[in-house]
Structure 1
Amino acid sequence: MTGSLEAALRQAVRGEVEFGSSTRAVYATDSSNYRQVPIGVVFPRDTDDLVAAVRVCADHGVPVLGRGAGTSLAGQACNVAVVLDTSRHMTRILEIDPVRRTARVQPGVVLDDLRRAAEVHGLTFGPDPATHAWCTLGGMIGNNSCGTHALYAGKTVDNVESLTVVTYDGEVLELGAYDDSAYAAAVVAGGRTAEVLGGLREIGRRHEALVRERYVDIPRRVSGYNLDQLLPDSGFHVARALVGTESTCVLVAEATVTLSVSPAHRRLVVLGYPDVFAAADAVPSLLGHGLLGLEGFDETLERQMRDRDLHVQHLELLPPGGGWLLAELGADDPAEADARTDAFTAALPDGVAWRRFDDETDQRRVWLVRESGLGATAIRADGRHNSEGWEDAAVAPERLGEYLRAVTALWDDYGYSGAWYGHFGQGCVHTRNDFDLHTEQGLRDYRSYVERAADLVVSMGGSLSGEHGDGQSRGELLERMYGPELVDAFRQFKAVFDPRGRMNPGKVVDAYPLDSSLRFGPDHRVVRPHQQFFALADDGGSLQTAVERCVGVGRCRRDDAGTMCPSYRVTRDERHSTRGRAKLLAEMFQGEVTPATWRNDDVREALDLCLSCKGCQTDCPTHVDMATYKAEFLSHHYARRLRPRVMYALGLLPWAARAATAVPRAANLVLTAPGLSQLVRRAAGVTTARPAPRFAATSWRRTRSARDHARTSQPTVVVWPDTFTDAYSPEVGERLVELLERLGERVVVPEQWGCCGRPLYDAGMLATARRTLAGLLDVLQPWLDRGLPVVVPEPSCLSTFRDELPGLLPDDPRAARLASLARSPAEQLLASSRLDGALAAAPHDLPERLVIHPHCHARAGAAAPADRELLQRLGHEAEVLDAGCCGLAGSFGFDAAHEPLSRRIGEESWLPQVRAALGDDRLVADGFSCRTQLDHLGGPAATDLVTLAWQRLCDGGQGRPAGVRGD
């Protein structure tokens, strides 16, 4: 049947239809505890495609599931069904009406895209979960999402005006609110809409008394279907009744939503309390001040952020305490915003520590602490997972302190622990706990705990879910909250739209057991750690444990900030996101959907477009390190067999460069001569669409100066002649040496050749990399023994010293020693006690504004902040650009198979952001790859930081350094 279904879908749908093992593996999980392998995935291009796909599925009697960003936390976004993913193509904002304050959108629109478009009119879509930069409106409607600003703007349900939906029988319905006249007109018109409205009105009439009795009146009642919207005093709002149904009834094809006024001037007050319980107790007294948001978190979250090294630098902004509240106020008039904030702080009782932030940058830093909740709590310091399962209940704000104390006491009964964070102002607080889901006894304890917690929250007049929905985590518990009659009314509601029960079955209504289909349940296959190249010390030496760090947060789907994931930003293919690759690797170890073998082609193909930019190493909240995983996988995938020829051509570049620097004129002739160059490069699998970088006329190592510095007596610092600086940019090395000497250093430049082997990692040539690194340590050992700093001009090589080196040679104490001594030029210059004096004595032109584009590996290796600090010390105003990866990524863009994607990343994603940020300012780019990509794509001129500092301190302020010109 699957074959005929796939064929029928391909014939009926214009969008992509993917039934392959790799796609099914990637879509087998969401952000929850659950795992269910889909039948296949369809990426509809529009409403017609949605209808066509659903009709084919209905003809074959198979279930369907609508999915947005796949970040659901209750299991509602995975199922044994045909998944309809609207996030690839159905991403248009169709209309914004600033007068009516509405927007009409397709379901795949990312929330922040809508918010940016609305901000032009001083408006916003109020609900904003922590995933606002990548979650979709369709997913928010499915889950009835809320977020920080639901405090003043309401939940998603409060902001939906009408919906265009597709039912399982392929009907397209336009649904909204119906007063008596609108209802009568719809009934007269007949058809499926009249049938639906009649059925729903009868459900509302029959169950009105129970709905009024059992639907709790709290800000965050999200659990269950919104039968209260069918009551007369709610305007018989059918569209809102469908919000939160998690695609168990219909698929959303289009939505008209309400936009809220977005206060132009905002203030943030952070309050510190002795503990989280005292913070919760204080909430009711703060709500009368017209707050835009009131969030909170505890000291456990702060500690876990430190353990995960996640936004630790921002924690310094918090006032003293063990529990914190973040109160946001605002107005369109700055004076009014100040007045409201002054009144708020004046009303605070004595003894409450607080800090106020008016600056937007500082506010954003504090909000990043709060938004780190899921990422910081997902993985424990010992590498074990904390899991969702009871992380979303809500109570009245007046009872929040009582609720938190009661659940914390319940933790003690079971030996659980967790952090508290979330929407304190509306009584909805999240947590993740160290449940044992791996053993039968652990599962029995988990079920017992969840049932007791459910009874507790119901006894307090609360809701099982306050934001994330019911799905499978809470679906079977709904009777405890609503009773059997209303749960049966939910079945009737679903049957009006989906009488065959094929829409996302087993979620919310007649839900699968909450302790079944678990991703890490007792049947989860744990592979004994094998012999690996990388130590993976934080993951017990296990690649499986490492890839299972991914909990599906989805930040790698973000495309407006950060570095990861450049290939996903262009392809929009989940398999080419960091999350998708991690999930596929994890599925490889299970061996159910994709083969459990290192020869796995699904994994190889997904990793093939990984640029090894290391963006995920810093951008991912759980520190998934895909560049390392890729290198490790490829080392086993190609063990004892030949690699593609391009891997040898590019992976062995350092050795080729070493030979070429002996005869640079002949080497350049081979690389540039018409006919010969194309023949050589095509034979090697290297692109002919780019000019080959030209070797310098004299390499750095072969200059008289470098040879003189190789014999420096009693040196104080080592400057490492990395392959890229040595072969292509020797002037940078020369200027760096001159700079350091101007500051009183005695510089030694090693004469003996060595290399970090940076290009080897992209090809997984790790045995060679180990030998190369051991040789490099031999070269540097005399200076390592003396504890001299080693300055590395090229960011990617510095990153290798700090990252791959200790990871590949964990038992060689010299590796850790070099990692600790390695410095970027900026770091070393800033460490000089003579820098300020030299700057004071050096003439300089008027300060200029500079924009820094950090190399991706500099970001990952924590070297980038020093660049900005040095430029500021040089007298410039410096902005660090957040434009992502340039797309060249070392050897990636020179691979003929990868060159088109590399160019697209540069031209469509990276370069427009560079140009927009640059204006009339000057660009600073230290990475060889970044400057090469600028040149190849006709980008703006760029200079490097060493040259700028050299110009100021050593060149007498004469002239401007030459940049890499792209015009």
Structure 2
Amino acid sequence: MSRVRDVAGLEPDLRAAVRGDVEFDSGTRAAYATDSSNYRQIPIGVVFPASAEDVAAALRVCARHDVPVLGRGAGTSLAGQTCNEAVVFDFSRHMNRILEIDPLARTARVQPGVVLDDLRAAAGQYGLTFGPDPATHAWCTLGGMIGNNSCGTHALYAGKTVDNVLRLRVACYGGAEFEFGAYDEAAYAALVRSGAPEAGPLGSLREIGRRHADLIRERYPDIPRRVSGYNLDQLLPEQPTHVARLLVGTESTCALVTEAVLVLAPSPAARRLVLLAYPSVFDAADAVPSILATELPHPLLGLEGFDVTLVRQMRARELNAAHLPLLPGLEQALEADSGGWLLAEVGGADEGEADAAAHALIDALPPEVGRRLLTAPEEQRGAWAIRESGLGATALREDGGHNVEGWEDGAVPPERLGAYLRAITELWHEYGYSGAWYGHFGQGCVHTRNNFDLHTPEGLRAYRAYVERAADLVVSLGGSLSGEHGDGQARGELLERMYGPELVDAFRQVKAVFDPRGRMNPGKVVDPYRLDRNLRYGPGYRPSRLGESLFALAEDGGSLQHAAERCVGVGRCRRDDTGVMCPSYRATRDERHSTRGRAKLLVELFQGEATSATWRNQDVREALDLCLACKGCAVDCPTHVDMATYKAEFLAHFYRRRLRPRAMYVLALTPWLLRLGARVPRLANAATGGGPLGVLGRRAVGVTTRREAPVIAARTWRRRRSGAATAAPTVVLWPDTFTDAYRPELGEAWQHIFESVGERVAVPTDWACCGRPLYDAGMLTLARRTLRGLLDVLQPFIDQRIPVVVPEPSCLAAFRDELPGLLADDPRAKILAELARSPAEHLLTLAPDALDALAARSGAAVRPQVLLHPHCHARAVGATDADRLLLERLGYRVEILDAGCCGLAGSFGFDAGHEELSRTIGTEHWLAGIVARTDAHDDDCRLMIDGFSCATQYRQLARPSSTAPRPQTLAELIGRT
């Protein structure tokens, strides 16, 4: 904090110097205080440069103020290299353009904020790819990969990042800019003659290489995954001095990269994946050398591995568990609690060549090795998803505590991998640690997370002793402290054990060439902080004193603080290509609007250093304001962060004994307003419509006038159903608020469908509500009362355990999620949550002949393709698969769309302050994705959109698109409306 007080004038000077964004507010600083590592350091502020000129200008300003700086991409570093008490340069917001792809030269010129998968997609048009691909490939940036010297699965085929860099443009502290590549004697002489600015640093680096050449040859391990330390091997005098490759892996301790020319590798057109099962992970490791030595028609693309412990953790976290049956010998391994798998990927120019490579590999295996060949792309993706789940699956322990990094990145020669794993496992036993093994077995680099105790002084002493012994072990085996994740603070202190003091001093000399004042990411790699300082959850960590949560948060001990700490910074909420989370981040590109950023702000709230420790915290309120409560994170986040619940919990405390904005009251109390409006629907529709009265009224309460208000039906579903109760019902069809008031014909259609298959349907006419809109406003006290009223109305059916079908997906989610979460003390809540079903889920429980009869009565034998857009809340509570299965059972061909959140999100898009963002999400992301998929199918293709919010958003946004088809509900597709 003192450093921030010493830099008066820095922020306005930066704002005057750059075209990009400069953010020094407490919320931004809190969101950037951590990365994916164990470390936490609050930055001075964050610069989001728009160009290389911005970077140089900002570095000049920082030098005038003598403040440290660091560069950051996606912020997923695992060794603490992207957090510091410094000015952070985040390149991902603006400097994210692919500048050029040269398919003949097989190169790409990119800015540092380009996401890896974006480059791979662009290069893929030419049959090329960027080879290194860490598990974060869908959101990590090229600048971050260069800073870390990232590797990934296919480094076996294409090498590390350092092997794929040709030239770098960089800016140094003080603003000097250089463009570096490789220089032989003639090139160096030409630089000197021309007076090029690169000549000075190059001369100094050549001299460092000459002085230390013998030690470099002696101490640098000749292994595929040597990532630790600076790349002094690029300075050896017998070869061209490759300054660009020297700078790879320096973790912004020397310079900031502003542009890179990268090597692209041919991407095999056809791939096959061979899954291999072994009695233990040690046996799997022992098999690696023989697999690497197998002669194949095409080089092996990847050889990954993991153990049965990881599989168990995936099952416990429900993380990609559906793919686990692909693994050969799965049940035997689980029963024996011992097993290991290798994933060997081969490829070829065509299907025949890929098949030949796969069978050559299989034929060379000993007969006792279990194996399975995957040829279908979807099965291969599923198997890779198992491997990529490693970080998320191992993050949390069964008791809710954290497994953490600290010794997760050692690399040894592949022929010594089995010995390494056995020796480290013995160390675990000695220190009482445990973990799962997973990683890049083919290159001798294996990851893990362990149950280290970082909270107590005794635990820290044990941790330090353990990592020192582990470091000595890996060095004794000819390995590297880091095989992928870099040194940062976690391993910087240990580098002398690997290289000796002379080479570590050479690192210091290299840094001084570029950063003589020592202001580039100080305390990382060179002259590092101690590895047991600046810990996020160290002895200085503070448990919350802000009171109990209103939600049960049963898996987190009733603590919102503990729940927010589920976020370990993986960063999947920053991806654009698949899933739902995080729609607001996809539109704003602001870290505070990602699930990770919001979780970090909540965690910082409870620490009270970067932002105030109070429920009245405005930083957290602003970050949560644009959360759509779509529940996408509850499914997509590998640690199941549930920001919708956290938002409701926080707002309940934030507004306790305070007035809310008018729009919040109006939108949250929609069920009650609709109950009144249904009695005088013409007047109610006039009061909310597009006429003068409606416009004036909506403006007065902060509801947008850019959208049409939904129209209340002339007679609600409940009013149409008034009369005698159904005798001995077999199913309850719940008239949720949205179906009841806006779409009563849909409720009647479902009743007709159920009765047509022999069900006796009860439709309760007593008013009650799940309170769905209340959660977004944090009105949890009223929500509890409302839910108790719901339980009272449904009490007779709960007592008889009669299934309750809820047509509206968002209301079904409230039955299953918020109901038991808020009323954990009422046993009826748990029972009703278990009884609640979607229409498709209930129909699938019926006898096969009933579904056969339904199929026969509802249309032709051959049915068209259906593109199914899942409601976010239906997806969150697992109801989407039932829609797909039912439609397939009725003869449809179904594709579940992956277009993300619609952006309306119930009341969110009707708030005047949110309408523009809602429209952006809906138009640029969601609707564009739907139209692209529908355009790819024939005219008879059907689009299914069942949720009320999604259907409303589609109707209001799709009008300008002549290609957008009319959406249908599931009931319409069944053919009974």
Q: TM-score, normalised by structure 2?
A: 0.96
Q: CA deviation at 1:896?
A: 0.3
- 1:136 is aligned to 2:145: no
**1:483 aligned to which of 500, 510, 513:** 500
- The equivalences for 1:66-85 within 5 A come to 66-85=71-90
CA distance in 2, matches of 1:352, 1:529: 55
Query: Which residue does 1:91 correspond to in 2?
Result: 96
- 1:647 is aligned to 2:661: no
CA distance in 1, matches of 2:855, 2:650: 52
Do the aligned residues in 2 keep the contact of 1:308 with 1:381 (CA within 8 Å)? no
- The equivalences for 1:877-916 within 5 A come to 877-916=893-932
Do the aligned residues in 1 keep the contact of 2:851 with 2:890 (CA within 8 Å)? no
CA distance in 2, matches of 1:148, 1:578: 26
Structure 2: runs of 5 or more not aligned: 1-5, 334-338
Deviations 1:730-752 (A, max 9, x none): 11111101111111110000110
Do the aligned residues in 2 keep the contact of 1:931 with 1:942 (CA within 8 Å)? no
SS in 1 for 2:145: helix
Q: CA deviation at 1:78?
A: 0.3
- 1:849 is aligned to 2:865: yes
**1:217 aligned to which of 212, 216, 222:** 222
Identity within the alignment, %: 69
Do the aligned residues in 1 keep the contact of 2:944 with 2:970 (CA within 8 Å)? no
CA distance in 2, matches of 1:264, 1:782: 61
**1:781 aligned to which of 774, 795, 800:** 795
Kindly provide the amino acid, as one letter, of the partner of residue 59 in structure 1: R
Deviations 1:650-704 (A, max 9, x none): 000000111111111111122225211111111111000101011112111111x
- 1:564 is aligned to 2:570: no
SS in 2 for 1:266: strand
Deviations 1:870-905 (A, max 9, x none): 111121111000111010000000000000110011
Do the aligned residues in 2 keep the contact of 1:754 with 1:772 (CA within 8 Å)? yes
SS in 2 for 1:538: helix
Kindly provide the amino acid, as one letter, of the partner of residue 953 in structure 2: Q
CA distance in 1, matches of 2:511, 2:850: 71
Deviations 1:334-357 (A, max 9, x none): 101101111111111011111111
- 1:503 is aligned to 2:520: yes
- The equivalences for 1:100-139 within 5 A come to 100-139=105-144
SS in 1 for 2:99: strand
Kindly provide the amino acid, as one letter, of the partner of residue 928 in structure 1: F
Q: Which moved more, 1:834-843 or 1:906-915?
A: 834-843
Query: Which residue does 1:753 correspond to in 2?
Result: 767
**1:313 aligned to which of 306, 322, 330:** 322
Kindly provide the amino acid, as one letter, of the partner of residue 347 in structure 2: G
Kindly provide the amino acid, as one letter, of the partner of residue 870 in structure 2: P
SS in 1 for 2:912: coil
Do the aligned residues in 1 keep the contact of 2:884 with 2:896 (CA within 8 Å)? yes
Deviations 1:385-421 (A, max 9, x none): 0000000000000000000000000001110000000
SS in 1 for 2:688: helix
Q: CA deviation at 1:948?
A: 2.9
SS in 1 for 2:958: coil
CA distance in 2, matches of 1:922, 1:134: 32
**1:197 aligned to which of 202, 216, 223:** 202
Q: CA deviation at 1:842?
A: 2.2
Q: CA deviation at 1:189?
A: 2.0
**1:532 aligned to which of 543, 549, 561:** 549
Pair 256,265 (structure 1): closer, same or farther in 2 beyond 3 Å: same
Q: Which moved more, 1:771-780 or 1:830-839?
A: 830-839
Do the aligned residues in 1 keep the contact of 2:902 with 2:950 (CA within 8 Å)? yes
Query: Which residue does 2:21 correspond to in 1?
Result: 16
**1:472 aligned to which of 468, 486, 489:** 489
CA distance in 1, matches of 2:892, 2:434: 49
CA distance in 1, matches of 2:856, 2:469: 72
Do the aligned residues in 2 keep the contact of 1:719 with 1:737 (CA within 8 Å)? yes
SS in 2 for 1:378: coil
Kindly provide the amino acid, as one letter, of the partner of residue 90 in structure 1: M
Do the aligned residues in 2 keep the contact of 1:867 with 1:945 (CA within 8 Å)? no
- 1:274 is aligned to 2:289: no
Do the aligned residues in 1 keep the contact of 2:855 with 2:890 (CA within 8 Å)? no
Kindly provide the amino acid, as one letter, of the partner of residue 829 in structure 2: A
CA distance in 2, matches of 1:927, 1:310: 26
Q: CA deviation at 1:811?
A: 1.1
CA distance in 2, matches of 1:829, 1:722: 19
Q: Which moved more, 1:908-917 or 1:246-255?
A: 908-917
CA distance in 2, matches of 1:715, 1:660: 30
**2:59 aligned to which of 47, 51, 54:** 54
Do the aligned residues in 1 keep the contact of 2:184 with 2:239 (CA within 8 Å)? no
Q: CA deviation at 1:529?
A: 6.8
- The equivalences for 1:138-217 within 5 A come to 138-217=143-222
CA distance in 1, matches of 2:48, 2:973: 51
Q: CA deviation at 1:909?
A: 1.2
CA distance in 1, matches of 2:889, 2:318: 27
Query: Which residue does 1:867 correspond to in 2?
Result: 883
Pair 419,857 (structure 1): closer, same or farther in 2 beyond 3 Å: same
**Over aligned residue pairs, what C-alpha RMSD do you find?**
1.1
Query: Which residue does 1:765 correspond to in 2?
Result: 779
Q: CA deviation at 1:135?
A: 0.2
- 1:946 is aligned to 2:960: no
Deviations 1:528-576 (A, max 9, x none): 4722210000001111000011110000000111000000001000000
- 1:32 is aligned to 2:41: no
CA distance in 2, matches of 1:742, 1:681: 43
Deviations 1:840-874 (A, max 9, x none): 53262341111111000011010011111111112
- 1:301 is aligned to 2:318: no
CA distance in 2, matches of 1:116, 1:68: 19
Do the aligned residues in 2 keep the contact of 1:736 with 1:946 (CA within 8 Å)? no
Query: Which residue does 1:808 correspond to in 2?
Result: 822
Pair 442,20 (structure 1): closer, same or farther in 2 beyond 3 Å: same
CA distance in 2, matches of 1:740, 1:840: 13
Query: Which residue does 1:354 correspond to in 2?
Result: 371
Do the aligned residues in 2 keep the contact of 1:163 with 1:254 (CA within 8 Å)? yes
Deviations 1:803-841 (A, max 9, x none): 000000001111000111110011111111133331453
SS in 1 for 2:261: strand
SS in 1 for 2:676: helix
CA distance in 2, matches of 1:574, 1:550: 14
SS in 2 for 1:186: helix
Query: Which residue does 2:336 correspond to in 1?
Result: none
Deviations 1:203-227 (A, max 9, x none): 0101000000000000000000000
**2:933 aligned to which of 906, 917, 930:** 917
Query: Which residue does 1:964 correspond to in 2?
Result: none
Structure 1: runs of 5 or more not aligned: 956-967
CA distance in 2, matches of 1:18, 1:669: 45
Kindly provide the amino acid, as one letter, of the partner of residue 132 in structure 1: H
Query: Which residue does 2:952 correspond to in 1?
Result: 932
Query: Which residue does 2:3 correspond to in 1?
Result: none
SS in 1 for 2:627: coil
Q: CA deviation at 1:234?
A: 4.2
Kindly provide the amino acid, as one letter, of the partner of residue 487 in structure 1: V
SS in 2 for 1:2: coil
Pair 451,949 (structure 1): closer, same or farther in 2 beyond 3 Å: same
Query: Which residue does 1:323 correspond to in 2?
Result: 340
SS in 1 for 2:722: helix
Kindly provide the amino acid, as one letter, of the partner of residue 235 in structure 2: L
**2:733 aligned to which of 701, 704, 719:** 719
CA distance in 2, matches of 1:451, 1:153: 32
CA distance in 1, matches of 2:640, 2:620: 20
Kindly provide the amino acid, as one letter, of the partner of residue 970 in structure 2: V
Q: CA deviation at 1:171?
A: 1.1
